[in-house]
């Protein structure tokens, strides 16, 4: 994958230790951007960095808890001191949900954890990313949400609430900074073959794929490709949008088979 307008630029990816975040970081690096990798798991981040550098790319590891103001401030300070600019950001950090269960069975701690990462963490990430992009002359931010930002999922009240809030924040930030040359969009992936689905096994994967109109589960690299498109010149008139990547799941009810 290559995008000339990304070469020599700087991209920050939160949640870069695995899954969609890690694949997005690899895609930015393959397109020639210098990449800043942020997440809490430093060892996983180092693995992604080593892979990127082994392919000739450039990556900087900055262990970060996106729910902590000081940590996010330090992340962006390190980015600017190292590279002198920030052009792109992909916010893929998310709290892992536990076993699905009805809303009234969730603990306050579980609900607060989901919002600390998914809402407070996104707010802090956007705040410091936007400040850095204002100093850099503009940029593009992509928030990685889920189809749960547009449609509820029974038993996942904490996760769904956080994802819905992401869209409100995305659209507001897009309006606030459009005139300053900063675009903010969101992606809403459907079922994607990341670690969680891989652990679920072949039978579970087949069941999920059967509910997707195109008949398969999505791949992390497909989400990464959409992220890079939203950061590139071909999407320069796109901001405040939510792009679904779900094989048609939210389009409606598929034909009876």
Phi, then psi, of 101 in degrees rounded to 5: -160, 160
Query: Which residues contact residue 58 at a Cβ distance below 8 angstroms, ignoring those fewer than 6 apart?
Result: 29, 34, 35, 52
Taking alpha carbons only, the member of 150, 128, 147 closest to residue 139 is 128
- Helix 42-54 vs helix 19-30: crossing angle, to nearest 10: 30
Compute the half-sphere exposure of residue 255: CA atoms within 13 Å on the CB side of its CA.
3
50: its two tokens = 């080593």
Report the alpha-carbon distance of residue 133 to residue 100 in Å, rounded.
Answer: 38
Catalytic residue among 83, 128, 159, 177: 159
Helices (H), 42-185: 42-54, 69-83, 108-115, 121-136, 157-177
159 catalytically annotated: yes
Report the alpha-carbon distance of residue 69 to residue 120 in Å, rounded.
Answer: 9
Report the alpha-carbon distance of residue 206 to residue 240 in Å, rounded.
Answer: 34
Burial status of residue 28 (CB atoms within 10 A of its CB: 0-12, 13-18, 19 or more): buried
Query: Which residues contact residue 226 at a Cβ distance below 8 angstroms, ignoring those fewer than 6 apart?
Result: 187, 243, 245
Residues marked as catalytic: 159
């Amino acid at each position: 994958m290559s995008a000339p307008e990304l070469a020599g630029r700087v991209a920050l990816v939160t949640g870069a230790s695995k899954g969609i975040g890690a694949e997005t970081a690899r895609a930015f690096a393959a397109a020639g951007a210098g990449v800043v990798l942020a997440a809490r798991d430093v060892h996983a981040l180092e693995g992604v960095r080593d892979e990127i550098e082994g392919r000739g790319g450039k990556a900087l590891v900055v262990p970060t808890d996106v729910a902590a103001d000081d940590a996010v401030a330090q992340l962006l300070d390190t980015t600017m001191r190292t590279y002198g600019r920030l052009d792109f950001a992909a916010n893929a950090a998310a709290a892992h949900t536990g076993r699905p269960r009805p809303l009234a069975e969730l603990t306050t701690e579980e609900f607060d954890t989901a919002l600390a990462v998914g809402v407070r963490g996104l707010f802090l990430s956007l705040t410091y990313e936007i400040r850095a992009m204002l100093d850099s002359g503009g940029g593009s931010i992509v928030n990685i949400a889920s189809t749960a930002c547009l449609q509820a999922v029974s038993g996942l009240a904490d996760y769904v609430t956080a994802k819905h809030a992401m869209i409100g924040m995305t659209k507001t930030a897009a309006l606030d900074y459009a005139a300053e040359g900063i675009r903010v969009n969101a992606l809403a992936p459907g079922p994607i073959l990341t670690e969680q689905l891989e652990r679920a096994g072949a039978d579970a994967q087949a069941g999920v794929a059967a509910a997707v109109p195109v008949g398969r589960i999505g791949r992390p690299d497909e989400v990464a490709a959409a992220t890079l498109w939203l950061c590139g010149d071909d999407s320069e008139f796109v901001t405040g949008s939510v792009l679904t990547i779900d094989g048609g799941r939210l389009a409606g009810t598929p034909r009876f088979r």
